[in-house]
Amino acid sequence: MRKYGVQVAVYTQYFMKVLRDMPGVIVYTICLPLVFLALNVGDAFFKPLTTSAYVEHIMPYIGWMIFSNCLTTAGNIASLREQGYLKQYRTLVVSPSVFIVSQALVNGLLMLSTLFLIAILSSIAFKLAFLPLLGQLWLTLVLVYLPVTCYSLPLIALAWRQRAINTAINAVSLLVIIGSFAINAVLNLHVSNPLLNLISPIYLVNNVFAMLTVGTISQFIATYGVILVILLGLGWFSYRHLKLLPTEGL
């Protein structure tokens, strides 16, 4: 276990170094969600929002950002496979999951940075207390990052070429955000309905934040536990079917 932890630390540092060599990518990754948020909820800027209103109007977009971040983690692993890195470095690590955990840690740190900036923006634009909001956003990320990443892991189990991976990420992201709003409009499911939170990670993020902020813990904690178990199972299944060889070489 100690060797596993050391290898995760080494590869996390390596992936961070790769990012540091591309400062433009870091700025783009952290700041683009802020632009996206401003474009979509700009009409509400500089108007005080209650926590309930923040959950209803702002959190769905933050949920999409977190989902996109987790989807990128899975996409990066699939890209490493297509570039031959998983095959090349497989014998150097105790488990291929080292790469997944390291990528997740790097992208998670980027998401923490984005949420920090969102908390600053929200405290200014919506007159919300900065420190409580930051703590709630970060705790939400901690609670949802593992299940939402597992939701995205089927990407690593599919033998797709590099171009197809990028197309799949964009398509899944679009389908989830459109499907999330469509499901709620058509079915009008209760927040504690496991189906709603299982189909849409955006709703999962939204409802976990609501659980932490507007006192729905008793209504949602059981649903969260069910979703966590199911998505962990999906992630384990996807990992067991991880493709190590580049599709181009098959």
pLDDT, position 56: 85
pLDDT the model gives residue 93: 80
User: For residue 151, what pLDDT is reported?
Assistant: 93
Mean of pLDDT over the chain: 84
Residue 249 has pLDDT above 60, yes or no: no
Under the banding of pLDDT at 50, 70 and 90, the label for residue 166 is confident
Provide the pLDDT for residue 204. 92
- Which band of pLDDT confidence, cut at 50, 70 and 90, is reported for residue 221? confident
Residue 138 has pLDDT above 60, yes or no: yes
pLDDT at 191: 61
215 vs 223, residue with greater confidence: 223
* Interatomic CA distance for residues 73 and 114, integer angstroms: 16
Domain count, the chain: 1
User: Which residues make Cβ contacts (< 8 Å) with residue 130, sequence separation at least 6?
Assistant: 119, 120, 123
Would you place residue 163 in the very low, low, confident or very high pLDDT band (cuts 50, 70, 90)? confident
Q: Output the pLDDT for position 101.
A: 93
CB atoms within 10 A of CB 196: 21
**The dihedral sign for the CA sequence 81, 111, 200, 167:** negative
Q: Is the pLDDT of residue 139 over 90?
A: yes
pLDDT score at 161: 76
- According to DSSP, residue 127 is labeled -
Banded model confidence at residue 145, pLDDT cuts 50, 70, 90: very high
How confident is the model at residue 187, as a pLDDT? Answer: 65
**Mean pLDDT within 20-49:** 77
> What share of the chain in percent tops pLDDT 70?
94
Regarding pTM above 0.85, the answer is: yes
Mean of the pLDDT values across residues 193-198? 78
Inform me whether the pLDDT recorded for 137 exceeds 90.
yes
Question: What pLDDT was estimated at residue 189?
Answer: 60
> pLDDT band for position 218 (50/70/90)?
confident
With 80 as the cut, is the pLDDT of residue 22 above it?
no
Q: Residue 43 — very low, low, confident or very high, per pLDDT cuts 50/70/90? A: confident
- What DSSP string describes 19-82? HHT-HHHHHHHHHHHHHHHHHHHGGGTTS---HHHHHHHTHHHHHHHHHHHHHHHHHHHHHHHH
Question: Does position 183 have pLDDT exceeding 90, yes or no?
Answer: no
Range of the domain at 36: 2-249
